[in-house]
Amino acid sequence: MKNDHPELDRFDRAILGVLAVDGRISITDLARKIGLSKSPTQARLRRLEADGVITGYRALFDPIRLGLDHVSFVEVRLQDTREAALAEFNAAVARVPEIEQVHLIAGNFDYLMKVRTQNMSDYRRVLAEHISTLPHVSNTSTYVAMQAVKENALSDII
């Protein structure tokens, strides 16, 4: 059984820090950067993957260069917050590609979503066709971001 919170030593954290910045680094270069030889570095990397600490590798894109510079944060209130309703909402929201992040909130509303679109009219379409039609949605409030002041990568935390 996988440990939910495996113990990470300084080498494990160093591996994570390097990979967060450069996920395509070779094992040889990774080993050199963290101060271990290649074999133990590779074994640690495999363990971090097997333990679920590293869940995958992907390319990061600049949303501005892709024409996706309109960011809205949407508060969502549900009319039903029992587990079955939450599960139904969670499954449906996962199918909307414009919704970048979704968080269940303890507060005056139930979910906070980050939605990324090309412009306001595109956002209005997503709101009308997708967000407002999600299961159990009672109402929404939208806040439009004017500028991203700080967006941390996990590499900044590790």
Contact 113, 99 (CB under 8 A): yes
Is residue 68 pLDDT above 80, yes or no? yes
pLDDT for residue 6 is more than 90: no
pLDDT digits 0-9 by tens, 106-147: 999 999 999 999 999 999 999 999 999 999 999 999 999 999
pLDDT, tens digit, 9 for 90 and up, residues 24-56: 999 999 999 999 999 999 999 999 999 999 999
pTM of the complete model: 0.79
